Structure 1
Amino acid sequence: MNLFQLRAFDAVAREGSFTRAAARLFISQPAVTGHIKALEEHYQIPLLRRTARRVELTEEGTRLAAITRAIFGLVDEAQTLLEANRQLLTGRLEVAADGPHLVMPMIANLRARYPGITVNLRLGNAQETLAALLSEHADVAVLTEVQPRNGLHLQPLSESRICALVPAGHPWAQWPKGIRLDQLNDVIMVLREPSSITRRTFDDACREAKVQPKVLLELDSREAVTEAVAAELGVGVVSSMEVSPDPRVKAIAIQGDGLVNRHMLGCMERRRSLRLIQAFFELAS
């Protein structure tokens, strides 16, 4: 069995792209293609489906990727362990986060302290971020409202509150103390999708307070919510740490219970002692 071929396949399976796999391995794209073609031909098994826009794993490829991820995950751990005495002069950290606002200052601190470290950041929703960490596609992750579980190490970072987002000309925009949660009863609102942590926290608080807003639109990004509010389609909600300067809208406080989100930094417990992960946690604290 040719480990170079397996490494090339593992990189494509992780990155979903021959180009990014080649960059990950520091070899040419034709070399990656050649390794995988030779692997498929030798074992007479299709591992990847190539389309005009993306690379997909076949059923056999998915099963093999689970094995290679474990193999080369251990190889990467061994390499990290052996390079620990080099004072983090080089290395690569895979970071996942459910939003950019907390993680960007952490990455800036890491780069300032260890300029030789390469960081790969993937942003997604809360479920995607947790899944990336648990599947070890990420070394560390910034998570919101994640429940403790066996094998997962969590470190508290901060808390944020749910705020209302209104057009700049809305009467509530002039209220210095914000509004009460019950004032949103029967109010037309534009909200994130139900799986969003911000939306779930807001829905739970409304349910407890017996408040029933009228949801006009469900949108898949905070940017879309901002645009909808600016177009005066309804009132939105946003996390206090995700408020961006925009003269068309204004974030105002909501007075009520259950409107707080907890943010944490996480890694797999068994990888907690790796030097690079340790360094990231230390800088974050």
Structure 2
Amino acid sequence: MRILAIAAALAVALPVPSQVMAHEFWIEPLAYQVDSSDLIIGELTNGQEFAGSQFAYLPQRFERFTVAAGMRQGDVLNRLGARPALSIAPLSEGLNVISYQSTLSTMTYSEWAKFLKFSAHKDFADIEAIHDARGLPRTGFVEGYWRFAKTLVGAGNSIGSDFRSGLAIEFVALDNPYTDDLSNGLRVQLYYLDDLRGDAQVELFEKAPDGTVDITLHRTDANGIATLPVKAGFSYLVDAVVLREPSNELAAEAEIVWETLWAALTFGVPE
């Protein structure tokens, strides 16, 4: 505990630079359902198409890492540098909701085409006109990005409901994937700050038991709800992104001209 406290105190609250494209980031448990007496173990993963590299437990990389179940909530603690980064006892029997908020990272665009491709992929309309209207250069500009990830893990009876955990952008599952009838799909509701995010693109990554991944695009309705088709025995990553102009203070401090906020939700569907 003392080592963790020292590491957190020494962590520098500056953006982490990156020279590669920012891809999806998610929490991927080794098992989405566990016995009440077992550990919840999972990886912090960054990559594409529901596969990627795993990150160690490093408090300087996150602003919060918590678990909640029922009326209880606590911090996710681990050894400094531990992998898997997530290794905790269930907070209680039922649905355990684990949330993660990263610190700010940055990346520099050296090619205009890459920014346009990313913007089109994430459904940012009229970005070229908006970028040019702000008088921004087409190369050498910097984006800052934040990761807001959640995962749902059922312990024991897996009973419970997902809820808003206070992330700036966040999916809330309106159905429990471990106890509810999902024959008509699983509903998720997307929030951005204090508002529901309607007519937003939602990317669904479906991983089969053999590891193959299928990707489909969906949209939220006026109430921010998207109904996602799911299958028994498969696991899922749900992703949505907001692109915005940073505040003057953040733009000056981090030297960024764009800011993206990434929401991710992972869960499994039992056989």
> What TM-score bracket applies, with the shorter chain setting the length?
under 0.3
Determine which structure has the larger helix proportion and give its number: 1
Determine which structure has the larger strand proportion and give its number: 2
TM-score in terms of structure 1 length: 0.22
TM-score in terms of structure 2 length: 0.23
